[in-house]
Amino acid sequence: MLNTAAKPANAPGVPAKELLAAYAPPPAAGRWLEVLVDCPGVHDVLTYQVTALDVQLGDIVSVPLRQHLVGGIALRWAATLPADLAPAQLQSVRGIVASGFLPADYIQLLDRVARYYCTPLIAVVRAALPPGLLGRSRRRVRLCPAAIPTGAEAFLDTAAQQVLDFLRDRQAQGCGWQTLKRAVRPAKRGLEQLVTRGWAEDYLEPPRYVQPKRQRAVILATEPTDAAPLSSRRRELLHQLKVWGGELWLQDFLQRSRTTAATVQALATAGYLVIEEREVLRLAAGPAVTDDCPKDLNPAQAEALAAIQAQSGCARLLLHGVTGSGKTEVYLQAIAPLLARGQSALVLVPEIGLTPQLTDRFRARFGDRVCVYHSALADGERYDTWRQMLTGEPQVAIGTRSAVFAPLPRLGMIILDEEHDHSFKQAQRMPTYHARTVALWRAELADCPLLLGSATPALTTWQAAQQSDDWQYLALPERIANRPLPTVEVVDMRRELQQGNRSVFSQRLHASLTDVAAAGQKAILFVPRRGHSSFVKCRSCGFTLTCPNCSVSLSYHYRHSHQQLQCHYCNHSQLNPSHCPQCASPYIKFFGTGTQRVMRHLEEAFPQLNCQRFDSDTTQRKDAHRRLLQRFTNGDIDVLVGTQMLTKGLDIPQVTLVGILAADGQIDRADYYASERAFQMLTQVAGRAGRAIARVASFCKPTALIIPW
Long-range contacts: 673-676, Cβ < 8 Å, 24+?
Answer: 673/422, 675/705, 676/458, 676/459
pLDDT of residue 9: 35
- What are the pLDDT digits (tens) for 346-361? 999 988 766 677 888 8
Beta-bridge partner residues of 591: 535
Cα–Cα distance, 8 to 22 (Å, whole number): 25
This prediction has a pTM of: 0.71
> Beta 200-205 vs 175-176: how paired, if at all?
unpaired
> Could you report the per-residue pLDDT of 460-496, keeping only the tens digit for each?
999 999 988 889 999 999 988 888 777 777 887 777 7
Q: Decide if 504 contacts 696 (C-beta within 8 A).
A: no
User: How many Å separate Cα 456 from the centre of its chain?
Assistant: 24
In this prediction, residue 669 carries a pLDDT of 58
| pLDDT recorded at residue 661 | 81
Q: List the one residue out of 462, 444, 442 whose CA is nearest residue 452.
A: 462
List, for the chain, all residue ranges whose pLDDT scores fall below the cut of 50: 1-29, 531-533, 691, 693-695, 701, 703-709
How buried is 429 (Cβ within 10 angstroms: 0-12 exposed, 13-18 middle, 19+ buried)? exposed
pLDDT attached to residue 249: 85
The answer to whether 692 touches 486, Cβ cutoff 8 Å, is yes
Residue-level pLDDT at 706: 47
pLDDT score, position 649: 57
**Which residues does 498 contact at the CB level (< 8 Å), separation at least 6?**
none
Buried b vs exposed e over 296-320: b needs ≥16 C-beta within 10 Å?
ebbebbeebbebbeebeebbbbbbb
**CA–CA dist 326, 242 (Å, integer):** 47
Which residues pair with residue 526 across a beta bridge?
642, 660
